[in-house]
Amino acid sequence: MEPSKTLVSAEGVEKWFGRRKILDRIDLSVTSGEVVVLIGSSGSGKTTFLRCINHLEKIEAGRITVNGFLIGYRDRRGRLVEDREANIARQRRDVGMVFQRFNLFANLNVLDNISIAPIRVRGEPRDAAIIRARALLARVGLADKEAAYPASLSGGQQQRVAIARALAMQPAVMLFDEPTSALDPEMVGEVLAVMRDLANEGMTMIIVTHEMGFARQVAHRIVVMDAGRIVESGLPDQVFGDPQHSKTRALLKAVLH
């Protein structure tokens, strides 16, 4: 078998908000087909790190590459300078992101919500984009909702449409930022089921979640963050069954009991 390709690489990443350091020298590599779940208490830097991967947040130090390309910056004789917005937009094509809130276009029906980015950003023919959008709707169990508008859908349905929309751009990696945190409890399972299917199909995923049972089931690796640092990383059974760091033990005690 060929060795797995590194799809996401973060080296020495630092992020500040004013005088407060949010990310402190983060190093993380994610390989093709890997599912990495980030866990940690609120304010540990998980969401900020996720947003830095597609340059929704700028970094102050270090570098992030996706699919071998620098995100957000150009290397000018060993010094990173911020790239042009047009280039950053092209780089983001490789990164699909699903947010806590669904961020669907309220004035577009479901089919148009999914197909609009491939048509406008990738320049795909409308017919081809519509065919893929319908296939993705079937994939997330919403084939009968293509003409519906977001306001008529449940939260779980809207989040599944948001996942289909991100997949429509055929990304190399999918980022999920607490995708079930805004949902009523009875809707959480339907979203997690779609994510579990994606993991089983080999989609490269980086997930921020408090759903520990789900994390233990689908993750290839659990990464624990605290105060902007990675304090522990390992296989799910290792991290959940025999946590090595005191912060990990405290976190798991708080969320599992």
pLDDT in tens, 86-102: 888 888 888 999 998 88
% of the chain residues with pLDDT over 90: 81
| pLDDT score of 3 | 57
Lowest mean pLDDT among 3-7, 166-170, 179-183, 247-251: 3-7
Is-contact 204 172, C-beta < 8 A? Answer: yes
Mean pLDDT of the chain: 93
Position of tokens 């005690």? 253
- CA separation for the pair 249, 116 (Å, rounded): 45
What number is the average pLDDT over the span 128-153?
96
CB contact at 8 A, 142 and 174 = no
177-229: pLDDT as tens digits: 999 998 998 899 999 999 999 999 999 999 999 999 999 999 999 999 999 99
Strand intervals (E) in the chain: 6-17, 20-31, 35-39, 61-66, 69-70, 73-76, 79-82, 95-98, 173-177, 205-208, 221-226, 229-234
- Check residue 223 and give its pLDDT: 98
Whether the pLDDT of residue 1 is over 50: the answer is no
Q: Who contacts 168 (Cβ-Cβ below 8 Å, separation ≥6)?
A: 114, 115, 117, 118, 129, 132, 133, 136
Residue range 246-253: mean pLDDT, rounded: 92
pLDDT at 257: 62
Residue 257 CB neighbour total at 10 angstroms: 5
Identity of the residue numbered 254:
A
pLDDT at 28 over 90: yes
